[in-house]
């Protein structure tokens, strides 16, 4: 059974902006659907029984705009994504990715794809599921990058090969058709570019090894336990010392500690001089817990607000598609495809 509810909202002033907006300068003429749902939910709070669907928004009085100045305090938002500055979207909602990925397949060589390290690793682990999608996935990753014409691509060390392939494909395409894509540079941090497993410090940290991997949404007690069990070595003197060749476990923990605290390896060695792993490993765990705490708490808040998430990824997809479509239209024109009429 469907029941309709009509609400009248009024006031001297109103500012209707996206719910995730922090510094929007211009109001919409009407409240956003998510704002209306929020008003309805605040009056009739029955989250299980009621699902609000906004059918119609009407303007009862002429809209008048005013301009005013306000003080803006520029704050540092630590470890948070601001959807107004960083466009967040679900890749499958932006069809330009799949379209450009298919076109770039035609300019990516078989030998290049077959040499991709991650492809070979996954084939070795999943020999019964080696499919075309896995083989050509690097072309789609190149499309993910080149659609937005970036100057730099922040990646870990293990993704450098994919970035190099993207550059090769972009250069090859540009040489054939003229300047179409920016040729991006990989941006790899000096510390923490390759985090290794806590259990097997010679292997990359991976979700396939949950006990050796720290997840963003892990509980603090689970993170602490994982670091206490982290593999180190049997040294009893000068334990905390960076030596990637002979002390991979300790070096990995030092890289993690440096990444979340900003301390240099020399500073870390001095901090734990004369102390054993019983002091060092819990300290690393605690530093990671505090670094991830605001991320986890904000993620939990967002996950609980489904309407907010939908608004963010819907608006993000619209904005991303606007940028991506410009690049795709240029590519279509270059290769001789007829531009879509819609």
Q: Residue 22's pLDDT is what? A: 41
Q: What is the CATH number of the domain that holds 288?
A: 1.10.240.10
Q: Write the pLDDT tens digit of every residue in 322-338.
A: 999 999 999 999 999 98
Q: Is 186 helix (H, G, I), strand (E, B) or coil?
A: strand
User: For the chain, what percent of residues have pLDDT higher than 90?
Assistant: 55
Is the pLDDT at 20 greater than 50? The verdict is: no
Determine whether 204 is an active site residue. yes
Cβ-count burial 275-296 (b if 16+ within 10 Å, e if not): eebeebbebbbebbbeebeeeb
Mean pLDDT over 208-224 rounds to 92
Q: Residue 2's pLDDT is what? A: 60
Is the pLDDT at 106 greater than 70? The verdict is: yes
* Higher pLDDT among residues 188 and 46, named by residue: 188
Domain presence at residue 200: no
Of 122, 160, 182, 228, the catalytic one is 122
Determine whether 22 is an active site residue. no
SS3 of 8-67: CCCCCCCCECCCCCCCCCCCECCCCHHHHHHHHHHHCCCCCCCCCCCCCCCCCCCCCCCC
Q: Residue 123's domain spans which residues?
A: 91-188+325-335
Q: What is the CATH number of the domain that holds 152?
A: 3.40.50.620
Torsional sign, CA 251, 252, 254, 255: positive
Q: Residue 318's pLDDT is what? A: 95
Which of 75, 108, 135 is the last residue before a domain boundary? 75
Q: Are residues 130 and 275 part of one domain?
A: no
Of 2, 125, 190, 207, the catalytic one is 207
Determine whether 160 is an active site residue. no
Q: Write the pLDDT tens digit of every residue in 73-82.
A: 233 333 456 7
Q: Is 121 helix (H, G, I), strand (E, B) or coil?
A: helix
Spatial neighbors of 146 by CB under 8 A, at least 6 apart, are 100, 104, 166, 169, 170, 181, 182, 184, 327
Q: Are residues 329 and 184 part of one domain?
A: yes
* Higher pLDDT among residues 292 and 340, named by residue: 292
User: Structural domain tally of the chain?
Assistant: 3
Q: Write the pLDDT tens digit of every residue in 119-169.
A: 888 888 778 888 899 999 999 999 999 999 999 999 888 889 999 999 999
Domain presence at residue 95: yes
Is the pLDDT at 91 greater than 70? The verdict is: yes
- Residue 21's nearest CA partner among 285, 323, 311, 221 is 311
- Residue 166's nearest CA partner among 190, 188, 185 is 185
Domain presence at residue 147: yes
Domain presence at residue 204: no
Of 160, 204, 263, 326, the catalytic one is 204
pLDDT classification of 253: cutoffs 50, 70, 90: very high
Q: Residue 168's pLDDT is what? A: 97
């Amino acid at each position: 059974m469907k029941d309709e509810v009509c609400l009248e909202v009024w006031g001297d002033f109103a500012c209707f902006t996206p719910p995730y907006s922090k510094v929007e300068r211009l109001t919409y003429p009407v409240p956003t659907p998510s704002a209306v749902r929020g008003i309805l939910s605040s009056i009739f709070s029955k989250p299980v029984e009621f699902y609000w669907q906004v059918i119609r928004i009407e303007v009862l009085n002429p809209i008048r705009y005013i301009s005013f100045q306000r003080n803006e305090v520029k704050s540092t938002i630590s470890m948070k994504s601001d959807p107004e500055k960083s466009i967040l979207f679900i890749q499958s909602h932006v069809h330009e990715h799949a379209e450009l990925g298919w076109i770039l397949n035609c300019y990516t060589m078989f030998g290049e794809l077959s040499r991709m390290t991650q492809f070979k690793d996954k084939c070795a682990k999943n020999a019964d599921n080696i499919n075309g999608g896995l083989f050509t996935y690097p072309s789609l990753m190149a499309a993910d990058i080149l659609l937005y014409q970036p100057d730099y691509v922040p990646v870990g060390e293990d993704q450098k090969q994919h970035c190099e392939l993207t550059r090769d494909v972009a250069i090859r395409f540009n040489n054939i058709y003229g300047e179409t894509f920016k040729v991006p540079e990989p941006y790899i941090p000096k510390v923490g570019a390759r985090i290794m497993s806590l259990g097997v410090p010679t292997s990359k940290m991976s979700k396939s090894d949950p006990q050796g991997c720290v997840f963003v949404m892990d509980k603090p007690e689970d993170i602490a336990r994982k670091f206490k069990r982290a593999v180190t070595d049997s040294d009893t003197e000068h334990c905390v010392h960076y030596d990637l060749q002979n002390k991979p476990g300790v070096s990995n923990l030092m890289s993690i500690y440096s990444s979340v605290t900003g301390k240099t390896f020399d500073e870390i060695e001095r901090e734990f001089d004369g102390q054993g792993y019983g002091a060092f490993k819990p300290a690393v765990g605690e530093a990671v817990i505090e670094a991830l705490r605001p991320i986890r708490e904000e993620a939990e808040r967002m996950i609980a607000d489904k309407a907010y998430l939908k608004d963010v990824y819907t608006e993000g997809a619209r904005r991303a598609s606007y940028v991506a479509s410009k690049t795709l239209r240029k590519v279509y024109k270059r290769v001789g495809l007829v531009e879509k009429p819609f």
